[in-house]
């Protein structure tokens, strides 16, 4: 199966927005304080690796960054959006003072997606409690997403996909059926959070 690697914007030679179709595996390697956006479309996936700093201005403003990033992703979308999946560390606004908080609703609006987060077309896995970087995989063949602990591997190029390591898996589930908002723990535990219909 072809592997499509989505890197953070600062990686030279990388691609921070990428499409995956048919039997591809979409991989986000080494996600630390960034947020990933994966748009599930009728003909595949569109992935984006969003930095806390805005791509165009370099300003440290996660909400501005994710809004502008999602606007650029929207230009790559043709067809109906089935689901939008966010995976990443999102420090609560009241704890972050806004410095490390992504406003996901703004990203949904910029994508032109349904902003009713209580519906089945939205999934957010907050990795803040894991306190570590991770790798993220979407297998279009099996329709599974896998989140694993990141490991430093200097022998692998930053634009290459890491292997899935069974001992490092924090979550593995269907990205089609999983919906809502979850906190992922360092031990792989997940706690479902209440989601406001308009929030």
Domain residues of the chain, as ranges? 3-192
**Mean per-residue pLDDT pooled into runs of 10, the chain (199 residues):** 88 88 92 93 94 88 92 93 92 54 86 75 87 93 95 86 94 92 86 57
What is the residue-wise DSSP string for 92-135?
A: -HHHHTTTT---HHHHHHHHT----TTSTTEEEEE-GGG-S-EE
CA distance 119 to 26: 24
Which CATH number is associated with domain 3-192? Answer: 3.30.1330
pLDDT given for residue 194 in this prediction: 60
pLDDT given for residue 119 in this prediction: 65
Nearest in space to 92 (alpha carbons), one of 197, 181, 198, 164:
181
């Amino acid at each position: 199966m072809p592997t499509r690697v989505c890197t953070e914007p600062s990686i030279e030679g990388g691609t921070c927005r990428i499409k995956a179709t048919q039997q591809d595996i979409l991989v986000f390697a080494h996600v630390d304080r960034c947020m990933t956006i994966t748009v599930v479309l009728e003909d595949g996936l569109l992935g984006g690796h969003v930095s806390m700093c805005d791509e165009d201005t370099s300003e440290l403003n996660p909400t501005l960054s994710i809004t502008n990033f999602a606007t650029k992703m929207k230009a790559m979308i043709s067809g109906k959006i089935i689901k939008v999946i966010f995976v990443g560390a999102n420090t609560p606004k009241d704890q972050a003072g806004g410095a490390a908080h992504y406003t996901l609703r703004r990203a949904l609006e910029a994508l032109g997606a349904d902003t009713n987060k209580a519906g089945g077309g939205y999934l957010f896995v907050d990795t803040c409690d894991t306190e570590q970087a991770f790798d993220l995989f979407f297998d279009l063949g099996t329709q599974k997403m896998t989140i694993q602990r990141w490991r430093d591997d200097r022998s692998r190029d930053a634009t290459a996909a890491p292997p899935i390591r069974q001992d490092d898996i924090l979550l593995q589930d269907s990205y089609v059926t999983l919906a809502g908002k979850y906190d992922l723990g360092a031990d792989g535990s997940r706690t479902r959070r209440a989601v406001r219909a308009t929030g």
